[in-house]
Amino acid sequence: MRILILTRFYLNGQTTHVLELSHALRKKGHAVFLIISRLDHPGYAQWLKEKGIPFSRTHQPLAFLEMLQTMNFDLIHNHSSHTLDAGLQLSKRLRVPIAATCHYLDFEPLELLQRADAVVAISSEMAAQLPLVPEKLHIVENGVPIPHNIDLAWRPKHAVFLSRSSPDRAAGYHTLIDILVEDGWQVTIAGNWRHPKARSLGWVQDPYPLLKNARMVVGTGRAIREGMAAGCVGFVLGDYLDGPVTPESVSSLRNTNFSGRSRRLTPSADNLTRELAQIQDSSFPSLMRFSRTYARQYFSVDSMAAALIEIYRELVEKENHPACQIINE
C-alpha cells in the first residue's frame, strides 16, 4: 500500500513512534511518505534519510496537493491534532480514507477526530474515554524495536531516567534520584533536565546504548516499553507514581500505558521508598528476564505495524468509501 503519514515534530515519544512505524511499514514492503511539520532536528532528518523514508517538513501540506495527487496514496494516517484538519481535507481531495491515532488523553478537537474513517487508541484507558462508535475505534498499543543480543547476566546498579521533566514531575524525579544515589545507584538522565547527583545527557535520540547497560528505567509510556525491551526493570513515575512493573502489576499498568494513572500515588519520599523496596537487589535478575520476555511477546514494533496494516486494509476495502478499491499488495 501507499501510505501518507502526517504528524508534527516534537522531542517526545510520539515522534519516535511515528518514525519507527514508518520504518516498520517500509520494511514490510509498503510505500510511505511522511509529512512531519516543523522538523528542526538534524539527527532525526538524517535518520529518515538513512532509512530511505521520503519526507517533507512542510506545515502546509495542502499547498502541495498537486504533487500529492501524483503519488496515488491508498490512505492517510494522521498522528497529531495539529495536522488532523489538513489530513481530513487531504482525505477528501485525494479521495482516500484517513485513520487517526490518538496519542494522549483529552484529545481535542473531538469533532475532527469523529470525522476520521478509523481512530486508533494506544490503550484501553484511552479508548474508554473516546466518544466514538465501536466499529470506528481500534486499540493498537505502542510498539518498540526489540534489540538483539541483550546481556542480562550482569549489570551495574544503574538507573536511566528516560523522560522530559515538567513542574509536575520535577519533585518526584529529584526525590527518587536522591534515594537511589543514597542506596549506591548510578543515575543517568536522558531528558531536558539535570540533577547534581546524576549524569545528564540531554535529549537522547537512541536510548538503547544506555538501556542495555542499566538495571532499571524510570519514566512513563514508551520509555517503559523501550526499557523493558532492553531488559530493564520498569519503574513508572510521571505526574503520578505507579512503581515497578512486575508480573503482578504489568496488566493494570499496561491498561493505562504505563502512565502512572493506574494507582495515582503521590510521588512522596515515603511512597517512593516503599515502591523501591518491592524490588530488592536479589529480585532484579528475575525481573529483568521477565521484562525482556514480556516486551518481546507484546511490545514489538513489527506486531504493531501488522495490526495497523489490517486496519488500513479494512479501510481501503470498504465499498462505501469514495476511494475504495481492494488493494492486494
- Each residue's pLDDT tens digit in the chain (329 positions)? 999 999 999 999 999 999 999 999 999 999 999 999 999 999 999 999 999 999 999 999 999 999 999 999 999 999 999 999 999 999 999 999 999 999 988 888 899 999 999 999 999 999 999 999 999 999 999 999 999 989 998 899 999 999 989 988 999 999 999 999 999 999 999 999 999 999 999 999 999 999 999 999 999 999 999 999 999 999 999 999 999 999 999 999 999 999 999 999 999 999 999 999 999 888 999 999 999 999 999 999 999 999 999 999 999 998 455 544 434 34
Q: What span, in angstroms and rounded, lies between the C-alpha atoms of 225 and 188? A: 18
Q: What span, in angstroms and rounded, lies between the C-alpha atoms of 231 and 214? A: 8
What DSSP letter does each residue of 3-72 carry, written as one string? Answer: EEEEEE--SSHHHHHHHHHHHHHHHTT-EEEEEEET---HHHHHHHHHTT--EE--S-GGGGHHHHHTT-
Q: What was the pLDDT predicted at 259? A: 95
Q: What span, in angstroms and rounded, lies between the C-alpha atoms of 326 and 122? A: 27
Q: What span, in angstroms and rounded, lies between the C-alpha atoms of 181 and 205? A: 25
Q: Sketch out the chain's domains with CATH numbers.
A: 2-143+300-317 (3.40.50.2000), 158-298 (3.40.50.2000)
Q: What was the pLDDT predicted at 321? A: 54
Q: What span, in angstroms and rounded, lies between the C-alpha atoms of 18 and 11? A: 12
* Residue 6 near residue 75 (C-beta atoms within 8 A): no
What is this structure's pTM? 0.93
Q: What was the pLDDT predicted at 329? A: 40
**Is omega for the bond preceding 207 within 30 degrees of 0, making it cis?**
no
184 alpha-carbon distance from chain centroid:
31
Q: What span, in angstroms and rounded, lies between the C-alpha atoms of 62 and 315? A: 22
Q: What was the pLDDT predicted at 325? A: 45
